[in-house]
Amino acid sequence: EAGVAQSPRYKIIEKRQSVAFWCNPISGHATLYWYQQILGQGPKLLIQFQNNGVVDDSQLPKDRFSAERLKGVDSTLKIQPAKLEDSAVYLCASSLDPGRLFYGYTFGSGTRLTVV
């Protein structure tokens, strides 16, 4: 099966600019996650979707970050305006349903964002 697709792979922007990331999960996977991985740290959940509804966005900085999952398939994550501390790898992941978490999520390759 095709994996989780993310684009772009790399992005460099100036602070206060806006940026958007795109994710296409594995076909049929109802649950989609966005994680932020800052250099030297483990990934941290930003938002979890179940189909097109938000399950958990408690760690999403809502003053500058937004995410949507239209039609329960693709998802976009936006940052506006970006800050220097947003420099990180943004990982998208998907899973068939929460009950299969023993088998883990499938992650995409990520988008590396550098804010200068």
Partner 1 sequence: DQQVKQNSPSLSVQEGRISILNCDYTNSMFDYFLWYKKYPAEGPTFLISISSIKDKNEDGRFTVFLNKSAKHLSLHIVPSQPGDSAVYFCAALRGGGSEKLVFGKGTKLTVNP
Binder to partner 1 among 14, 28, 85, 101 (CB under 8 A)?
Answer: 101
Binder to partner 1 among 8, 18, 51, 98 (CB under 8 A)?
Answer: 98
CB of 42 to partner 1, least distance (A): 3
**Integer Cα distance of 24 and 82 in angstroms:** 23
> Which of left, alpha, beta for 110 (phi over 0: left; psi -120 to 50: alpha)?
left
What is the residue type of 36? Q
**Integer Cα distance of 59 and 105 in angstroms:** 19
- Binding to partner 1 by residue 94, rule CB under 8 A? no
Note the residues at the interface with partner 1 (CB under 8 A). Answer: 4, 31, 33, 40-45, 48, 55-56, 58, 91, 93, 98, 101-110
